[in-house]
Amino acid sequence: MSSNKRFSLTISQRIALLCVVLYMIISVSGFIIILYSLDKYNKSIIDESLGSYNKEIAEELHQVEEKSNAVSNTGLMATFNEYTSKIQCQKHRYFFHLFDARGNISHTPLSPLFKIFPQKFTLDIKHNTLKIIGSVKTLQLKISEIGNVATSRRLDGTNCYYVLTPYKSKTEELFFIISLYNTSDEIEFRNKVVNTLLFINIVAIALLLFFSNELAKIALIPLRQLTKEAKSIDFISNKRTLFVPNTNDEIQALTISLNTMLHNIDQSYEKSKRFTQDASHELRIPLTVILGNIELMEKFKDDADICQASLHDIKEETLKMKDMVNSLLTISRLEKNAEMIQTETIDIRSLLSGLSNEVSNLTGRTIEVHCKKGIVINSSQKLLLQCLRALLDNALKYSKQEIIIG
What CA–CA distance (Å, rounded) separates 222 from 392? Answer: 58
Collect contacts of 274-282 with beta carbons under 8 A, ≥24 apart.
275/328, 275/331, 275/332, 279/324, 279/328, 282/324
Residue 184: exposure state from Cβ atoms within 10 A (0-12, 13-18, ≥19): exposed
What CA–CA distance (Å, rounded) separates 121 from 109? Answer: 16
Residue 1 is predicted with a pLDDT of 42
Residue 217 is predicted with a pLDDT of 84
Domains and CATH numbers, the chain: 11-191 (3.30.450), 220-340 (1.10.287.130), 342-405 (3.30.565.10)
Contact 274, 338 (CB under 8 A): no
Residue 209 is predicted with a pLDDT of 87
The phi, psi pair for 105, rounded to 5°, reads: -135, 145
Residues of the chain with pLDDT under 70: 1-7, 68-78, 80-93, 101-127, 132-139, 145-149, 235-239, 331, 333-341
Residue 201: exposure state from Cβ atoms within 10 A (0-12, 13-18, ≥19): middle
Residue 195 is predicted with a pLDDT of 92
Residue 90 is predicted with a pLDDT of 45
Considering the entire predicted model, what is its pTM?
0.53
Angle 323-325-330 (CA atoms, 0-180°, nearest 5)?
Answer: 95
What CA–CA distance (Å, rounded) separates 168 from 73? Answer: 11
> In this structure, what DSSP letter does residue 6 have?
P
Q: DSSP string of 325-369?
A: HHHHHHHHHHHHTGGG---EEEEHHHHHHHHHHHHHHHH---EEE
What CA–CA distance (Å, rounded) separates 130 from 164? Answer: 9
